[in-house]
Amino acid sequence: MAIPSAALVLAARPRAATSTAAVVAPLPGCPYAGAFVRRGVRTIAVTLASRLRPLDLPADAASPYAGTVEHRGSLRPTVKALRAAGVTAVLPGSAAGIELAERISWHLGLPAGDPEASALRYDRGAQAMALERAGVPSARTIRSGSLAEALRWADTERLDGYTLAPAAAGTPVPAVTCATDFEIRAAWPALRRATARYSGSAHLVLTEQLSPREYVINSVSRPGPDGIPEHCITDVWAESRGRDGMLDRTDLLDRHQLLSRALSRYLLRALDVLGVVCGPVTSRVAYSEGRGPLLISSLAAPPPASLADDALRAATGEDRVARALEAWLPAPRTELSPVPAPPRRVVRVHLQARAGDSIDPWLGRIVRQLPTVVAVSDALRASTSCPSTTGQPEIVLSSTEPEAVEADYRVIRALEREGLYRVPRP
């Protein structure tokens, strides 16, 4: 699903026989370096000098980069070094690298969004304001570094509930739901400090509390033949939460369903407004019965890896990393006629384990041997405790028979009630 947008884009240079890509501010686990190496593309990491890096932002020291260029604040020497290296594509390796990657691309004459509006590709507050100006439905939001200003806005809006979150999308700091001014005051200081340590910005967004029906939509954009960006929705996932607010399951939606089509149409409009030109974007969208889809955030950073990637590829043929690389460095290839395959149901089941719990060996073996289980977290082992820092462990179910997937889902929840987890002794 791809449509052209009206954003301006610099013309792309033709691909050289041997390409070189620069990845800006890559985080550990960034998939680009390894994927480029497999394609015969030389990859250079553009790292940030220590004084420019947010305090708690980790560096990618394990990926196979052919070289490193340290950005120390001045753009000229960084661009000069990359030009001398023959760089033909510049990719952000994280949210922290988006603005710098776009500025470097502009100086090298490579496809990129407007570097003067880079915040539209990662900042929730800037995104909400841009959508509102363009007449695209959006959540009521204020972006501020001042608690007093946020409280004045909340007093004016008089909403039933609010969500307080980092302005920078992708920051590993959970949002906080607030119902009163007192709760906003209580949550603000710690959230602001944590946001600054991870993103380098102390700005937060206070947003109306939206419907718990949230969707994760992945897309890839690239300049079309006429230089106008084209956006393609690759996959849409629906999140379901329990009464306690914990993530229960995430379902891959059929792209032909009416809901998927409505979400996709909305996001395609939003991507044009946000000036997305090239590369992957991960967006979160809420759905309101009265107002339709409403953007929560969009992040033009590497596509998130998950246990369900292989199941997604089997169900749809989509490889998000491959799509992302081809957006910057399209390579000629022989297209094979796809063999029609029966539709597959894919569900990510998020376990309700607590940090420190371990899996009962016998019950864990039953879970792993369920007919539709195709992947499990490392935590789903008898000798492994559930970590406290990496989110909920999960199980991926996939089958051409939806009823089989639902049956296994019910079995997993029943086993949780029967003692799947062993609580650590005090």
**C-alpha angle 344/348/354, rounded to 5°?**
165
pLDDT digits (tens, 9 = 90+) for 345-355: 999 999 988 77
- pLDDT given for residue 384 in this prediction: 59
- pLDDT given for residue 330 in this prediction: 77
Q: Quickly state the pLDDT bin for 21 (edges 50, 70, 90).
A: very high
Q: Quickly state the pLDDT bin for 337 (edges 50, 70, 90).
A: very low
- Quick one: fold of 2-121+213-328? D-amino Acid Aminotransferase; Chain A, domain 1 (3.30.470)
Q: Mean of the per-residue pLDDT values for the chain?
A: 88
Main-chain phi, psi angles of 43, to 5 degrees: -125, 135
**pLDDT at 8 exceeding the cut of 60:** no
For the residues 376-399, what does the mean pLDDT come to? 75
Domain layout of the chain by residue ranges: 2-121+213-328, 140-208, 345-422
Q: Quickly state the pLDDT bin for 424 (edges 50, 70, 90).
A: low
pLDDT digits (tens, 9 = 90+) for 304-317: 888 999 999 999 88
Pick from 355, 347, 392: which is nearest to 373 by CA? 347
**pLDDT at 4 exceeding the cut of 60:** no
- pLDDT given for residue 390 in this prediction: 56
Residue 308 CA: distances (Å) to CA of 163, 287, 314, 341: 28, 24, 10, 18
**pLDDT at 185 exceeding the cut of 90:** yes
For the residues 325-340, what does the mean pLDDT come to? 63
| DSSP tag of 121 | G
- pLDDT given for residue 56 in this prediction: 83
Residue 231 pairs in a beta bridge with 3, 221
Residue 92 pairs in a beta bridge with 24
Q: For residue 234, give the 3-state DSSP assignment.
A: strand
**pLDDT at 128 exceeding the cut of 50:** yes
**pLDDT at 382 exceeding the cut of 80:** no
**pLDDT at 240 exceeding the cut of 90:** yes
**C-alpha angle 307/279/112, rounded to 5°?**
155
- pLDDT given for residue 101 in this prediction: 97
Strands 292-299 and 279-288: antiparallel
For the residues 235-260, what does the mean pLDDT come to? 92
**pLDDT at 2 exceeding the cut of 50:** no
Q: Which two tokens stand for residue 70?
A: 């340290």
**pLDDT at 123 exceeding the cut of 80:** yes
- pLDDT given for residue 47 in this prediction: 94
CATH of domain 345-422: 3.90.600
- pLDDT given for residue 243 in this prediction: 82
pLDDT digits (tens, 9 = 90+) for 43-66: 999 999 988 988 888 888 778 899
Q: What are all long-range contacts of 13-19, with beta carbons under 8 Å and residues at least 24 apart? A: 13/88, 13/109, 13/110, 15/88, 15/329, 15/330, 15/331, 16/86, 16/88, 18/42, 18/86, 19/88, 19/89, 19/329
- pLDDT given for residue 305 in this prediction: 84
Residue 144 pairs in a beta bridge with 204
Q: Please, what's the b/e burial string for 261-285 (b: 16 or more CB within 10 A of its CB; e: otherwise)?
A: bebbebbbbbbbbbbbbbbbbbbbb
For the residues 252-264, what does the mean pLDDT come to? 93
Q: Quickly state the pLDDT bin for 331 (edges 50, 70, 90).
A: low
- Quick one: fold of 140-208? Dna Ligase; domain 1 (3.30.1490)
- pLDDT given for residue 85 in this prediction: 95
Q: Quickly state the pLDDT bin for 386 (edges 50, 70, 90).
A: low
**pLDDT at 150 exceeding the cut of 80:** yes
Within a 13 Å sphere around the CA of 324, how many CA atoms are in the beta-carbon half? 27
DSSP E strands: which ranges in 6-92?
20-24, 42-48, 67-71, 89-92
Q: For residue 83, give the 3-state DSSP assignment.
A: helix
